[in-house]
Amino acid sequence: MKNTPKQPARTWGPGLHPARDETPKTLAGRVAQQLRQDIIRHRLEPGERLQFEKLSKLYEVGTSPLREALFQVAAQGLVVAEDHKGFIVAPIQFDEMLDVSNLRANLESYAIRGAIRDGREEWEVDLLAAFHRLKRAGIAVAADQDDEDRRTEWEDRHREFHYALCKGCGSPWLLHFFDELYDHMERYRRYFWKYAERAVAADSEHEAIMKAALDRDEERAATLLQAHFQKQAKLTMSLRKKVERATAEVS
């Protein structure tokens, strides 16, 4: 009788997936984390040329780990490597924003179905707690949407809520791509959103999705989640028209 090979223990997955704020083990990884954060939060502006001298001083790091960090962030699509010209921050593009939003809608709808089927009591508790933290953060950001710390708090709680919806699905790879897509959408939200309006307005949508998930109503939860993303896409299109009109008036 042949021995069945022992499967290696999972090093990440639902409940073990590495958080975005976890400290990387290498210098290049730490620089990439800070660079990613600065791009998402628009400390480095879309289309800005990334000069090695400036970044070396900013992050207090040499050329070699900085170059490695830039390639890491470029692999995520937040930085663009130009042949013989260096690196620039990825520009803002409406079509990309809609593409990312559609991908998130499909990915999370698939994930929430799996979570509803397979999620245990711990998943329900985590989801409920994540919603209440998000709601409190929404109240705070509505009081002062210009406060960077409050916007960041809301974004962190919003990420946690959507992650909590998905994490019971049992797919480590799906949760990996969840974070990749969320980073891009956060950058676009920070560029376009008036947080006082959208953060509070989305509360009822988030609550309805949560209740459907806790009721184990797979169809309703997935439908509400899709509608949530579609509403954001419509708001995006209205922003696109406003920006295009403003650009035409200036030119």
**Residue 218 vs residue 146, higher pLDDT:** 218
**pLDDT higher than 80, residue 97:** yes
Sign of the CA dihedral with 47 first, then 151, 205, and 237 last? negative
Q: For position 94, what pLDDT does the model report?
A: 85
Distance CA 26, CA 19 (A): 16
Q: Where are the domains of the chain?
A: 27-89, 94-242
At 166, list the tokens: 């998905």
**pLDDT higher than 60, residue 190:** yes
Helices (H), the chain: 27-40, 52-59, 63-76, 94-118, 121-143, 148-166, 172-192, 195-201, 203-214, 218-250
122-159 pLDDT per residue, tens: 999 999 999 999 999 999 998 888 899 999 999 999 99
Residues contacting 163, CB < 8 A, separation 6+: 130, 175, 178, 179
* Global pTM value: 0.84
Please give the CATH architecture assigned to the domain spanning 94-242.
Up-down Bundle (1.20)
CA distances from residue 121 to 118, 124, 134, 158 in whole angstroms, order as listed? 10, 5, 20, 21
Q: For position 145, what pLDDT does the model report?
A: 80
**Residue 78 vs residue 251, higher pLDDT:** 78
Distance CA 100, CA 112 (A): 18
**pLDDT higher than 50, residue 79:** yes
Instruction: Give the chain's length.
Output: 251
Q: For position 20, what pLDDT does the model report?
A: 55
Report residue 201's pLDDT band, with 50, 70 and 90 as the boundaries: confident
Please give the CATH architecture assigned to the domain spanning 27-89.
Orthogonal Bundle (1.10)
